[in-house]
Amino acid sequence: MDLIIVDNYEELSQRAADIIASCVEADPACTLGLATGTSPIGLYAKLVEKCQAGEISFKDVTTFNLDEYRGLNPEHNQSYRYFMNHHLFDKVDINKEATHVPDGADPDAEHACAIYEQLIERNGGIDLQLLGLGHNGHIGFNEPQDDFPAKTHLVQLTQRTIEANSRLFDSIDDVPREAYTMGIGTIMAARSILLVATGSSKAQIVHDVMYGLVTPQVPASILKFHPNVTIIVDKEAGALCQQ
Ligand code: GLP
């Protein structure tokens, strides 16, 4: 895994956006795996700038998001579909039909997850998967557990994740308790992976992912087994690591 420690969020956003833009430049019809959370907001803004300046085009790009809350409609302002429209899709020249987020409004978990996994497979997989990092090491919504789930599946969110994500809702009671997420196998099948993490509250988990054992109790630790992973952190999140 390549670890890049940068000075601040601005630099992190620029470096990450440059990596994604290079992928799109190299193959204008590439497939991007995308992530939500606060960490990627800055890099999406940089990609919007590049697109609006005519430096890159998303016209032929296909995207698959990692996850979605179960029970939220796409119009709900806390749904991950809404987030993606707001931060990226509505502001660039992407064909919305080629953007995919698990269907949180489908109550049939087996159906929603199987369809999503099939779509990714039929599309030929993901070229570059962007990831954030939960404080407990979760990627997508793959929470710490006894094994590494292979495919897109239904998850029960942990209390820690519900609390962390409640900052974005009116009240903690509004945070959905379940989500659909790509599996660890789905993520590991991506041809390259870019993980971003910021802030001192992520320092310990970034350290554990980099130097700890590979264990499903720290889901992101499995990235050590992937041949092409870049991790970009700001100096607060990288405080316990050496470069
Ligand atoms: C959520 C998302 C994850 C994201 C994580 C970290 O739980 N499902 O994909 O990585 O939050 O978010 P943040 O970047 O806001 O710390």
pLDDT of residue 215: 98
Q: Directed axis angle between helix 41-52 and helix 9-26, to 10°?
A: 50
Round to whole Å and give the CA distance between 49 and 63.
Answer: 19
Residue to mutate, 39, 68, 142, 201, ligand 1, most ligand atoms under 8 Å from C-beta: 39
pLDDT of residue 222: 98
pLDDT band at 184 (very low <50, low <70, confident <90, very high): very high
Mean pLDDT, range 42-52, rounded to an integer: 98
pLDDT at residue 242 is higher than 90 = no
Helix and strand totals (H; E) in the chain: 7, 10
Mean of the per-residue pLDDT values of the chain: 97
Tell me, using a 6 A CB cutoff, whether residue 221 lines ligand 1. no
DSSP string across 174-236: GS-SEEEE--HHHHHTSSEEEEEE-SGGGHHHHHHHHHS--BTTBGGGGGGGSSSEEEEEETT
Round to whole Å and give the CA distance between 171 and 221.
Answer: 32
Decide the pairing of beta strands 67-69 and 178-181: antiparallel
Residue located nearest, by CA, to atom 9 of ligand 1: 140
Tell me, using a 6 A CB cutoff, whether residue 44 lines ligand 1. no
Place of tokens 């509004």: 174
The answer to whether the beta carbons of residues 51 and 92 sit under 8 Å apart is yes
pLDDT at residue 123 is higher than 80 = yes
Q: What is the pLDDT of residues 215-237, one digit of tens each?
A: 999 999 999 999 999 999 999 99
Report which residue type is found at 39: S
Ligand 1 atom closest to the Cα of residue 36 is 9
Q: How many CA atoms lie within 13 A of 141 on its CB side?
A: 27
The answer to whether the beta carbons of residues 34 and 130 sit under 8 Å apart is yes
Tell me, in angstroms, the distance from the centre of ligand 1 to residue 22's CA.
Answer: 24
Round to whole Å and give the CA distance between 52 and 55.
Answer: 8
Tell me, in angstroms, the distance from the centre of ligand 1 to residue 237's CA.
Answer: 14
pTM exceeds 0.75 for this model: yes
Range in 116-120, 162-166, 196-200, 205-209 the model is least confident about: 162-166
Tell me, using a 6 A CB cutoff, whether residue 37 lines ligand 1. yes
pLDDT at residue 243 is higher than 90 = no
